[in-house]
Amino acid sequence: MTPRDAVMLTIQAPAPDPVASAENDPMAACPNSPASSPAQGKCIRAARDLAINGAAPAFSETVHVGRPNIGDRRAFMERVDAMFDRRWLTNNGPLVQELEAKLASYLGVRHVVAMCNGTIALEIAIRALGMKGEVIVPSYTFIATAQALQWQEITPVFADIDPVTHNLDPAAVERMITPRTTGIIGVHLWGRAAPVDELAEIARRRNLSLMFDSAHAFGASYRGRRVGAFGRAEVFSFHATKFFNSFEGGAITTNEDDLARDMRYMRNFGFEDYDRAVHPGTNGKMPEICAAMGLTNLETLDVVVEANRSNYAAYAEALGGIDNLHLLPYDPRESSNFQYVVVEVGDSFPATRDQIVAALHAEGILARKYFWPGCHNMLPFRALYPHAGLLLPNTQTVSERVIVLPTGTALPPEAIDVIASVFRVLGKHEG
Amino acid at 316: A
The number of beta carbons lying within 10 Å of the beta carbon of residue 255 is: 16
Which residue is nearest to ligand T4K, using beta carbons? Answer: 118
Determine contact, residues 360/367, Cβ cutoff 8 Å. Answer: yes
Q: Of 41, 43, 51, 67, which one interacts with ligand T4K (CB under 6 A)?
A: 67
Q: In the bound complex, what is the minimum distance in angstroms from residue 161's beta carbon to ligand T4K?
A: 13
Q: In the bound complex, what is the minimum distance in angstroms from residue 371's beta carbon to ligand T4K?
A: 8
Determine contact, residues 233/124, Cβ cutoff 8 Å. Answer: no
Residue count (the chain): 431
Residue 332 DSSP label: T
Is position 68 an interface residue for ligand T4K (rule: CB under 6 A)? yes
Alpha-carbon radius of gyration of the chain: 23
CA triple 330-335-336, angle to 5 deg: 50
Is position 141 an interface residue for ligand T4K (rule: CB under 6 A)? yes
Q: In the bound complex, what is the minimum distance in angstroms from residue 170's beta carbon to ligand T4K?
A: 19
Q: In the bound complex, what is the minimum distance in angstroms from residue 392's beta carbon to ligand T4K?
A: 17
Chain residues 371-430 in contact with ligand T4K, contact rule CB under 6 A: none
Residue 323 DSSP label: T
Of 119 and 209, the one with the shorter C-beta distance to ligand T4K is 119
Is position 356 an interface residue for ligand T4K (rule: CB under 6 A)? no
The closest of 339, 336, 337, 357 to 401, measured between CA atoms, is: 357
3-state SS, residue 285: coil
The closest of 423, 431, 406, 417 to 355, measured between CA atoms, is: 423
The number of beta carbons lying within 10 Å of the beta carbon of residue 316 is: 13
Q: In the bound complex, what is the minimum distance in angstroms from residue 352's beta carbon to ligand T4K?
A: 21
Chain residues 233-252 in contact with ligand T4K, contact rule CB under 6 A: 237, 239-241, 250
Q: In the bound complex, what is the minimum distance in angstroms from residue 99's beta carbon to ligand T4K?
A: 15
- Strand segments, DSSP code E, in 39-110 are 63-64
Q: In the bound complex, what is the minimum distance in angstroms from residue 232's beta carbon to ligand T4K?
A: 17
Determine contact, residues 160/395, Cβ cutoff 8 Å. Answer: yes
Q: In the bound complex, what is the minimum distance in angstroms from residue 119's beta carbon to ligand T4K?
A: 3
How big is the site for ligand T4K, counted in residues (CB under 6 A)? 23
Stretch that binds ligand T4K, among 60-68, 79-87, 161-169, 195-203 (CB under 6 A): 60-68
Q: In the bound complex, what is the minimum distance in angstroms from residue 372's beta carbon to ligand T4K?
A: 12
Stretch that binds ligand T4K, among 78-86, 173-181, 232-240, 416-424 (CB under 6 A): 232-240
Distance CA 114, CA 130 (A): 20
3-state SS, residue 30: strand
Of 49 and 363, the one with the shorter C-beta distance to ligand T4K is 363
Pairing of strands 221-222, 225-226: antiparallel
Q: Per-residue string for binding with ligand T4K, 99-138, x by CB under 6 A?
A: ------------------xxx-------------------
Stretch that binds ligand T4K, among 129-137, 208-216, 326-334, 419-427 (CB under 6 A): 208-216
Q: Which helix (H) or strand (E) holds 157?
A: strand 155-159
Amino acid at 312: Y
Of 79 and 216, the one with the shorter C-beta distance to ligand T4K is 216
Q: In the bound complex, what is the minimum distance in angstroms from residue 29's beta carbon to ligand T4K?
A: 31
Q: Of 44, 131, 215, 292, which one interacts with ligand T4K (CB under 6 A)?
A: 215
Is position 213 an interface residue for ligand T4K (rule: CB under 6 A)? yes
Q: Of 45, 100, 114, 142, which one interacts with ligand T4K (CB under 6 A)?
A: 142
The number of beta carbons lying within 10 Å of the beta carbon of residue 242 is: 24
Of 10 and 311, the one with the shorter C-beta distance to ligand T4K is 311
Q: Which helix (H) or strand (E) holds 361?
A: helix 353-362
Is position 139 an interface residue for ligand T4K (rule: CB under 6 A)? no
Distance CA 205, CA 196 (A): 14
Residue 287: asked if its preceding bond is cis (omega within 30°), the reply is no
Q: Of 4, 8, 53, 64, which one interacts with ligand T4K (CB under 6 A)?
A: 64
Q: In the bound complex, what is the minimum distance in angstroms from residue 280's beta carbon to ligand T4K?
A: 21
Distance CA 166, CA 175 (A): 18
Residue numbers of the site for ligand T4K (CB under 6 A)?
64-68, 117-119, 141-142, 144-145, 187, 213, 215-216, 237, 239-241, 250, 366, 370
